[in-house]
Structure 1
């Protein structure tokens, strides 16, 4: 095919940064949609909300794409861009949850409730199973679990993002892990017929 150039994510991003190329934006959207959608689904249960957050993430990314820079190339460039895009999706999801006031239902948490939990995961657990378990957590626990365990934020960063004390972040993470363990063990018992 003469005149048609195969785009890579790196070329598409560079095309957007340099001249706002619409074809490049479309290529980025199509190639990263599932990735961003998976991130927003970790924060909200409703598919419609996840769709809206995903699209808003792309809108914000395209508006700020000139601020993205990477001296890397190839696979490292793509990882860097996806991490940048993920951070946008996480921030939009957190903003949405704040606006919904779902994070304001914090319990009074005592420091004594914080305990270390070891959770052993079976090799038979699939991503879909994990997502189903996460969606069963209360909103605040799921959000803190995602921010800390999945996105890699520290408790200090989580406390700033959610405007809660660090100790509350730690406690809700502990509760989330404990609840996930209970849900996981219950699902094993159900599938084993107990």
Structure 2
């Protein structure tokens, strides 16, 4: 059987044996999935790549504790989200504020609201301050509760709620700004 035809179960068994070939195939199979998750948390592609690399390292180093009844994608998603949270905590004091010129540049790239694609929405979400973006993603995309977010980010539940409310308000403003810009053309 060709190695690309290996099932997830075969890949996991090989990864538990520390087979470099199995790890390589697993990495290639799930790279896009993990990168997609990472991009929704990272401020740029370079940081997303760091999150991807660390996520796979954590996955391979903890593979022995993976149980057969678990979903590979769920487990990998959880590791990736936790890795993104770790990067957020580690880099929080170094986060920069976006320049208004960056925002205007992105708005001109986004189509009308009715034609907004996933990538367009991601561009708007990336304009949120890091705290708000992280809470928004954890709550709205990952389905975390405010209690879980508070525990992960080391903040209070009420702070999580405030960040989410601010994120939603800012997104509404960004969409409205975009629509006004689009209508003015």
In the TM superposition, 1:45-124 aligns within 5 A as 45-71=43-69, 80-102=71-93, 124=115
2:19 maps to: 21
1:12 maps to: 11
TM normalised by structure 2 equals: 0.82
Q: Which runs of 5+ in 2 are unaligned?
A: 96-112
- Kindly state the Cα deviation for residue 33 of structure 1 after the two structures are TM-superposed: 0.9
TM normalised by structure 1 equals: 0.78
> In structure 2, what is the Cα distance between the partners aligned to 1:158 and 1:180?
20
1:189 maps to: 180
Deviation string for 1:18-43 (max 9, x for gaps)?
x2222111111111111111212222
Looking at secondary structure, tell me which structure has more helix per residue: 2
Q: Secondary structure at the match of 1:145?
A: helix
User: Structure 1 160/92 Cα, relative in aligned 2: closer, same or farther at 3 Å?
Assistant: same
The runs of at least 4 consecutive aligned structure 1 residues that moved more than 6 Å come to: none
- Report the number of matched residues: 168
- Kindly state the Cα deviation for residue 185 of structure 1 after the two structures are TM-superposed: 2.2
Confirm or deny that 1:173 pairs with 2:164: yes
Confirm or deny that 1:133 pairs with 2:124: yes
2:145 maps to: 154
> In structure 1, what is the Cα distance between the partners aligned to 2:161 and 2:78?
21
Deviation string for 1:33-84 (max 9, x for gaps)?
111112122222132121111101101100111111133xxxxx6xx21111
User: Structure 1 182/10 Cα, relative in aligned 2: closer, same or farther at 3 Å?
Assistant: farther
User: Structure 1 103/70 Cα, relative in aligned 2: closer, same or farther at 3 Å?
Assistant: farther
> In structure 1, what is the Cα distance between the partners aligned to 2:93 and 2:42?
11
- Kindly state the Cα deviation for residue 91 of structure 1 after the two structures are TM-superposed: 1.0
Q: Determine if contact 1:103/1:139 at 8 Å carries over to the other structure.
A: no
> In structure 1, what is the Cα distance between the partners aligned to 2:2 and 2:40?
37
CA RMSD of aligned residues (A): 2.2
> In structure 1, what is the Cα distance between the partners aligned to 2:8 and 2:32?
14
- Kindly state the Cα deviation for residue 172 of structure 1 after the two structures are TM-superposed: 0.7
> In structure 1, what is the Cα distance between the partners aligned to 2:184 and 2:159?
37
Q: Which runs of 5+ in 1 are unaligned?
A: 72-76, 105-121
